[in-house]
Amino acid sequence: MAESPVKAEITAAVWKIEAGPGTRVAEGDAILLLESMKMEIPVAAPRSGRVKAVLVAEGDLVEEGQVVATLED
């Protein structure tokens, strides 16, 4: 199975996890929401697949470019 990383586009706090491990997602679906300066920023699936792992927890601070989840076919 091909595995794809899902990366944060900005430095922010993880506000809410929308799709946990095992969830099927379509390209563009929100996997989690980040919060920065009172704005919610979705982290979208780069392709369709199944969420293999979410590597962060709600409340964690993530850096721009950090892998926050992985997808598989």
What local confidence, expressed as pLDDT, does residue 48 receive? 96
Tell me the domains of the chain and their CATH numbers.
Answer: 3-72 (2.40.50.100)
CA distance 32 to 23: 12
Mean pLDDT by 10 residues, the chain (73 residues): 92 98 98 96 97 98 98 95
What local confidence, expressed as pLDDT, does residue 2 receive? 87
User: Model pTM?
Assistant: 0.91
What local confidence, expressed as pLDDT, does residue 19 receive? 98
Which of 60, 1, 2 minimizes the C-alpha distance to 43?
A: 60
Strand partners, 3: 72
DSSP string for 25-67: E-TT-EEEEEEETTEEEEEE-SSSEEEEEE---TT-EE-TT-E
